[in-house]
Amino acid sequence: MFPPPRIVCLTEETVETLYLLGRQDSIVGISGHTVRPPEARRDKPRVSAFTSADLPKIEALKPDLVLTFSDLQADIVAALVRTTGIAVHAFNQRDIAGILDMVRTLGALVDTRDEADKLARRLEANVSAARARTARLKVRPRIFFEEWDEPLISGIRWVSELVDAAGGVDVFPAQARQPAAKDRIVTAEQVIAASPDIVIGSWCGKKFRAEKVAARPGFAVVPAVRDGELHEIKSSIILQPGPAALTDGLAALEAIVGAWADARGR
């Protein structure tokens, strides 16, 4: 049936996008990690975590389509395909261009192509506007974006691109191009050697603890620790590869970089 009238979203970014496209009534189930928009968590039944899902509950909702993200949900996809016969679309966006493609693809799936294209253009324009503002910075801070603490995992590609748009310099750009978290693991020694001016933590569902970072052996010499530039950005607005990252996540990055630059005369 087209467009699909009953959709289960197993990650937050498709939920937010469908709400922005005015297709929220199509959503019949969401991930338990969904926090955007807040009414989704209030109004929609929760049927999954990130790497696990309640298949009988999903099947009972009689969805026409289940939306998933990344290789980490591959087992859920396989189980759905093998046991339920429900159609599944697996997104795998890893950069800003991929996020914009996701928006347009989702719009096509729910027959809102024009609205999705307008949304994608607005999101792209927001990133471009940030780049234009930060192009005037005299000095760009070196930034370590810490996606996880044990082991240390550096930021994924869309985060690295947003750091650049916000006026910063990602200290681990090569790792950012690796889609798998295991390939973005760095050592404490590498972080110390990278000498970041700012550390931004987004520990994917748990609170960032600046004091824990500052207490790491050898970190006293890191400029970010020395100058108290240890910041948190909530994972819900930066590690979800959807509209939130290109709006609120980018704004949070730009605010941190802007304050650092202001303290140094821009």
- The strand pairing partners of 90, in sequence order, are 68
Instruction: Show pLDDT as tens, one digit a residue, over the chain (266 residues).
Output: 466 689 999 999 999 999 999 999 999 999 999 999 999 999 999 999 999 999 999 999 999 999 999 999 999 999 999 999 999 999 999 999 999 999 999 999 999 999 999 999 999 999 999 999 999 999 999 999 999 999 999 999 999 999 999 999 999 999 999 999 999 999 999 999 999 999 999 998 799 999 999 999 999 999 999 999 999 999 999 999 999 999 999 999 999 999 999 998 86
In a domain, 133, yes or no: no
Number of independent structural domains in the chain: 2
In a domain, 132, yes or no: no
Question: Which tokens sit at 169?
Answer: 């310099």
Domain match, 112 and 25 both: yes
Cα 211 from chain centre: 24
User: What pLDDT, on the 0 to 100 scale, is given for residue 3?
Assistant: 62
Alpha-carbon span 155 to 183, nearest angstrom: 11
Domain match, 158 and 99 both: no
Of the residues 100, 126, 152, which one is the last residue of a structural domain?
Answer: 126
Of the residues 101, 126, 151, which one is the last residue of a structural domain?
Answer: 126
Contact assessment for residue 251 and residue 257, using Cβ atoms and an 8 Å cutoff: no
Q: Cα–Cα distances in Å, from 246 out to 30, 82, 161, 166, 224?
A: 21, 35, 10, 11, 25
User: What pLDDT, on the 0 to 100 scale, is given for residue 216?
Assistant: 98
In a domain, 117, yes or no: yes
In a domain, 1, yes or no: no
Contact assessment for residue 5 and residue 18, using Cβ atoms and an 8 Å cutoff: no
State the pTM of this model: 0.95
Domain match, 94 and 160 both: no
Domain match, 57 and 112 both: yes
CATH of the domain at 185: 3.40.50.1980
Of the residues 126, 148, 172, which one is the last residue of a structural domain?
Answer: 126
Q: Which domain holds residue 197?
A: 138-262
In a domain, 216, yes or no: yes
Q: Give the number of other CB atoms < 10 A from CB of residue 263.
A: 10
In a domain, 2, yes or no: no
Question: Which tokens sit at 201?
Answer: 């933590």
Domain match, 120 and 153 both: no
